[in-house]
Amino acid sequence: MIAKVEPLTPARALRGPFDYLLAGALEDVGVGSMLVVPFGRRRLLGVVVDVTERSELPPERLAEPLAALEADVPQSLVRLGLWVAREYVSTPARGLALVLPPGTGTGAARPLRRRRSLRASMTAAGEAALAVGGRAATADVVVDGAPADGAPPRARLGPRQRAALDALVGGPVGAAALARRAGCDHSTLRSLERRGLLSLEPAAEPARRPHVERVGARAGSVALTEAQRRAAETVEACLEGHPGRPLLLHGVTGSGKTEVYLRAVEAALRRGRSAIVLVPEIALTPQTAGRFLERFGDAVAVMHSRLSRRERYDEWWRMRRGEARVCVGPRSAVFAPFSDLGLIVVDEEHDSSYKQEGDPRYDARTVAERRAAEEGALLLAGSATPRPESMLRYERISLPGRVDGRRLPPVEIVGMLGVNGAFHERTRQALDEVRRRGEKAIVLLNRRGWSNFLSCRGCGRVWECPNCDVTLVLHRFAGEVACHHCGHREPIPVACGDCGSVSVARHGTGTEQLERELDALVAPLPVFRLDSDVAAAAGVGAVLRRFDAASAGVLVGTQMVAKGHDFPAVTLGVVLDADATLRFPDFRAEERTFALVAQLAGRSGRGRLGGRVIVQALDPDARALRHAAAHDADGFLAGELARRETLSYPPHGHLVRVVCSSTEPGPEIAAAEAVRELVAGARVPVLGPAPLFRRQGRHRAQLLIRSGDREAAIAAVSHAVGAVAGDRAHGAATFAVDVDPQ
Ligand code: ADP
Ligand code: ZN
Ligand code: ZN
């Protein structure tokens, strides 16, 4: 037999599949097997994408594989990986890397192997040490104090050692996970073991289940509302028959969508099928993942973004072996290695994090559609603010009211023209009320940092990034100005480099500054900030937990605060500069703005006390804002679909974006021109090249392909980019293709 093997190499030029002769022990490898194959003088890792009777090569030119790895990927996933490669104009190796066991990658790093892991558990001596000596030590120094006068041995513990023992209080933990949680390394654990404070033993099973934070309102199994029951019945009927169109669960915020997902997963499991639950980002919405764990226990594999490579690998195997039947995770969970898939849930289906930013730039929602269709599984997408795409193409089920029958909070839009400062008078009053009554509020401003930009009062110079054509943002707490596009940072300027003036003006308000102003406004209530700066330092979960635990306070931050949190005590939601997003030239600007305001509104009034929302905007009449204030998703979507139809924008047409870039100005334009010629030559309409702002030191030019014929557009772009990228004359340019750009 002949195996057709796709080599897992990052090199774009090396395209398989290549033929290998299967013989001896390797005779029965099948599609999805991973092989080590000889390739010229090298050895490469490859995936079997097909098995055939004969090859076009003469037998003497056929090599045999050197070895087969243990991993084998379900055949359907191999097909899916190759489909992603084609659909998103990437390479087969990159497409396949998505479906392989984590860490097997593009063959760049050494692949992981299954191994028996170590498990750490507390000993009695460890417990005693924690109780006695734990608190006294301050430095990370180990002093093995000999028992002086017959008193219990005083084991002095450094902070990391104490953290390690603390983490064992709840029960045994995998050694790797323990080291990570305690911020120590393996040698620390070994030294604790030598001192008899913990024991390390080989675990029969891979590491313990990854830890998921639980924040916010919680509930066990509940009696469904009438609307939930009808929704669950529809889902179940679809699971029973042959699943047809995907379902769209359109339920207002607080309508109990998660409970419907739980029932859907239950129904799939009952039929002996596995289920995937896609969520935007687990760190941001730990509640949802927590509910699945609570309901299904060890049958759940959680693909948390902070899992180690090893933990991901272990979870992959639990699914592959059928020990885990439910996969909860962000976009990559759509590739969970189930061979009996029955259901894919896409929670908060409007969330743009479902689109991958690097190559392959796949959209997990589209991949989910494809996978569900290919494997006869049901796709169930849900949101309070669905995409126009889903509205048009999916079959809708509605949850029109909140579970407790409470009304959605009233939303007031206030105009900011001529208003000085960050807050409108109405907002100040509302925040003051929250302060007086000791309640909770969430304030959203989609701009992190202290000020947007700095300028010199002497000569007007504006501080810009040396690598990108954008201004630097002031981060006062970090003592620096930073570029939000490339990460460049430098100390806060004290004087102008051009004219020497020491008078530097700060413009605009970001979340840092807002936090300070709120501190003054609502004192003594605590103010919690949540944006990616804080997330990187303290962790999102920690901030959400503190806000949840406080009896009153204000949570301020970027769009992170508008995700699906469920904090019943929040009585006020505020959006600042709500129409800022509308000022971007982007056909999704309205959709984004609507979703952001509606989602933030959804965080307010989930409890007994009710709630309200204030939206500050320069143009209070903006369509997206008016619909959001009226909680009118249907009206908004109808208008949006009509507008898009006129303009042939998605879902009434397909977009592909090609960005060419180069370090010197010039080659990027030339390359874009060349691609355009070829695409236009294939009779596919193309706009551009249009220059984009320089980013990360690269000059960029963009082409936009807008077509009713998706396949033709993708084929034309794929061919054109391949040809131009392979042309030495354009060697200075690189290419990024984005199908369905967000
Ligand atoms: P959504 O995702 O639609 O915004 P959630 O699923 O977060 O709503 O549910 C909101 C709250 O209502 C949660 O605290 C949930 O536990 C609770 N809940 C859901 N269904 C019911 C029900 N049938 N009866 C009572 N409480 C419910
Ligand atoms: Zn100056
Ligand atoms: Zn930059």
Shortest-distance atom of ligand 1 to CA 257? 3
**Span 695-741, pLDDT tens digits:** 999 999 999 999 999 999 999 999 999 999 999 999 999 999 999 99
What confidence score (pLDDT) does residue 139 get?
A: 33
Residue with the larger pLDDT of the pair 435 and 538: 435
Amino acid letter at 590? E
What distance in angstroms lies between residue 295's CA and the mean position of ligand 3's atoms? 45
- Ligand 1 environment, Cβ below 6 A: 217, 219, 222-225, 228, 251, 253-259, 403, 564, 566
Q: Is the Cα dihedral 177, 179, 180, 185 positive or negative?
A: negative
What distance in angstroms lies between residue 497's CA and the mean position of ligand 1's atoms? 57
What distance in angstroms lies between residue 503's CA and the mean position of ligand 2's atoms? 8
What distance in angstroms lies between residue 504's CA and the mean position of ligand 3's atoms? 21
Beta strands in 417-567 (DSSP E): 440-444, 453-456, 473-475, 480-482, 489-491, 504-507, 527-530, 553-557
**Span 517-536, pLDDT tens digits:** 999 999 999 999 999 998 88
Ligand 1: residue of 222, 261, 346, 606 to mutate (most ligand atoms within 8 A of CB) is: 222
- CA max distance for the chain: 92
Which ligand neighbours the alpha carbon of 263 most closely? 1
What distance in angstroms lies between residue 258's CA and the mean position of ligand 1's atoms? 7
Average pLDDT of the residues in 456-463: 95
Tell which residue, 410, 342, 353, 346, has the closest CA to residue 383. 346
What distance in angstroms lies between residue 492's CA and the mean position of ligand 2's atoms? 15
What confidence score (pLDDT) does residue 135 get?
A: 44
What confidence score (pLDDT) does residue 167 get?
A: 86
Shortest-distance atom of ligand 1 to CA 224? 23
Q: Report the number of secondary-structure helices (H) and strands (E) in the chain.
A: 21, 30
Q: List CB contacts of 514: < 8 A, sequence separation 6 or more.
A: 422, 443, 445, 556, 576
Give the pairing of strands 247-251 and 378-383. parallel
Beta strands in 320-364 (DSSP E): 326-329, 341-346
Q: Where are the alpha helices (DSSP H) in 34-147?
A: 75-87, 92-97, 124-132
What confidence score (pLDDT) does residue 717 get?
A: 97
What confidence score (pLDDT) does residue 108 get?
A: 42
Kindly report the backbone phi and psi dihedral angles of residue 633, in degrees, each rounded to the nearest multiple of 5, phi listed first.
-65, -40
Considering the entire predicted model, what is its pTM?
0.83
What confidence score (pLDDT) does residue 564 get?
A: 79
What confidence score (pLDDT) does residue 215 get?
A: 54
Tell which residue, 583, 651, 571, has the closest CA to residue 613. 571
At residue 620, the 3 state secondary structure works out as: coil
Ligand 1: residue of 262, 566, 570 to mutate (most ligand atoms within 8 A of CB) is: 566
Which ligand neighbours the alpha carbon of 457 most closely? 2
* Statement: residue 321 has pLDDT above 50: yes
What distance in angstroms lies between residue 257's CA and the mean position of ligand 1's atoms? 7
**Span 106-165, pLDDT tens digits:** 544 455 555 446 788 888 888 888 876 544 333 333 333 333 344 444 457 888 888 888
Mean pLDDT score of the chain = 89
Q: What percent of the chain has pLDDT over 90?
A: 65
- CB contact at 8 A, 164 and 188: yes
Nearest Cα residue to atom 12 of ligand 1: 256
**Span 294-318, pLDDT tens digits:** 999 999 999 887 788 888 888 999 9
Average pLDDT of the residues in 38-65: 87
Give the whole-angstrom CA distance, residue 624 versus residue 632.
Answer: 10
Shortest-distance atom of ligand 1 to CA 251? 3
Give the whole-angstrom CA distance, residue 146 versus residue 196.
Answer: 14
Nearest Cα residue to atom 2 of ligand 1: 257
What distance in angstroms lies between residue 606's CA and the mean position of ligand 1's atoms? 10
Which ligand neighbours the alpha carbon of 221 most closely? 1
Give the whole-angstrom CA distance, residue 1 versus residue 576.
Answer: 65
Ligand 1: residue of 262, 351, 403, 565 to mutate (most ligand atoms within 8 A of CB) is: 403
Shortest-distance atom of ligand 1 to CA 253? 4
**Span 158-211, pLDDT tens digits:** 888 888 888 888 788 888 778 878 888 777 888 888 888 988 887 654 444 555
Give the whole-angstrom CA distance, residue 292 versus residue 325.
Answer: 12
Nearest Cα residue to atom 20 of ligand 1: 256
Worst-scoring range by mean pLDDT, 12-21, 402-411, 575-584? 12-21
Residues in the chain, how many?
A: 742
What distance in angstroms lies between residue 461's CA and the mean position of ligand 2's atoms? 5
At residue 605, the 3 state secondary structure works out as: coil
What distance in angstroms lies between residue 728's CA and the mean position of ligand 1's atoms? 59
Nearest Cα residue to atom 14 of ligand 1: 217
Tell which residue, 715, 602, 734, 609, has the closest CA to residue 654. 715
Give the whole-angstrom CA distance, residue 167 versus residue 170.
Answer: 7
Average pLDDT of the residues in 398-413: 94
Q: List CB contacts of 327: < 8 A, sequence separation 6 or more.
A: 274, 275, 276, 277, 300, 301, 302, 303, 319, 333, 336, 338
Nearest Cα residue to atom 15 of ligand 1: 256
Which ligand neighbours the alpha carbon of 469 most closely? 3
Determine how many CB atoms are found less than 10 A away from the CB of residue 445.
25
Shortest-distance atom of ligand 1 to CA 288? 7
What confidence score (pLDDT) does residue 68 get?
A: 82
Tell which residue, 6, 79, 99, has the closest CA to residue 319. 99
Shortest-distance atom of ligand 1 to CA 568? 14
Give the whole-angstrom CA distance, residue 205 versus residue 626.
Answer: 55
* Statement: residue 66 has pLDDT above 60: yes
Buried b (16+ CB within 10 A) or exposed e, 533-570: bbbeeeebbbbbbebbebebbbbbbbbbbbbbbbbbbb
Give the whole-angstrom CA distance, residue 506 versus residue 567.
Answer: 35
Worst-scoring range by mean pLDDT, 197-211, 251-265, 286-300, 349-363? 197-211
Tell which residue, 296, 325, 314, 374, has the closest CA to residue 84. 374
At residue 353, the 3 state secondary structure works out as: helix
Task: Label residue 220 by pLDDT band (50, 70, 90).
Answer: low
Tell which residue, 662, 704, 721, has the closest CA to residue 12. 721
What confidence score (pLDDT) does residue 696 get?
A: 94
- CB contact at 8 A, 119 and 202: yes
Buried b (16+ CB within 10 A) or exposed e, 55-80: beeeeeeeeebeebbebbbbebbbbb
What distance in angstroms lies between residue 256's CA and the mean position of ligand 1's atoms? 3
Which ligand neighbours the alpha carbon of 693 most closely? 3
